[in-house]
Amino acid sequence: MMSRTCGSPGPDAGAACSESVPESGAAISSVKKNIHILVGATGSVAALKLPLLVSGLLAIPGMWKRLSDPVLHIDLRRWADMLVVAPLDANTLGKVASGICDNLLTSVIRAWDRTKPLLFCPAMNTAMWEHPVTAQHVEQLKGFGYIEIPCVAKKLACGDEGLGAMAEVYTILEKVKEILLERDLLHQS
């Protein structure tokens, strides 16, 4: 069981969080090659979970441990075997769906090799999630061949309750491992 406790970064961010992530149910014995997963994060409160997600990804055999040289968006898309955007906020969701690439992450996504998996984990306020344009944007990304890891309902940092919270880290990690196994990049023991 991996655990993570995170403090509140400011007065408006809500209470401190505590999360436990169970170890994966699938035992992994070996890898065929080093696996490169590029993680993109946007401005959602759910970014507080990013250290837990990254440490969980690094626990998967064959993961890289460092990036040696600064690279541009094309080098990153060539380097990565998979892109996980977690959290994907409403602003960046709209940009990606519209083809806007005004920062490094959106440029990597715009240049992404669509033969490689791109997973996105929406995270936003319930009112934003329920806006009709959000469903259009999600469908647009799925139309590009990207894989949605759906948001969940819970009490959000703003105090609202409902859909919009990023999927649990455990769910994201399990989907990453499932895809790596499907692509024969990991072996189950």
Neighbours of 132 (CB within 10 A): 7
Q: What are the angstrom distances between the C-alpha of 30 and each of 55, 65, 105?
A: 19, 17, 30
For the chain, the straight-line distance linking the first and the last C-alpha, in angstroms and rounded, comes to 19
Containing 161, the helix (H) or strand (E) segment is strand 161-165
The tokens describing 101, both together, are 């690439």
Containing 154, the helix (H) or strand (E) segment is strand 152-155
Residue 112, phi then psi, degrees to nearest 5: -60, 140
Q: What are the angstrom distances between the C-alpha of 61 and each of 1, 18, 26, 29, 71?
A: 17, 26, 12, 8, 24
The tokens describing 95, both together, are 């940009």
Using DSSP bridges, classify how beta strands 152-155 and 118-122 pair: parallel, antiparallel or unpaired.
Answer: unpaired
Please identify every residue annotated as catalytic. 158
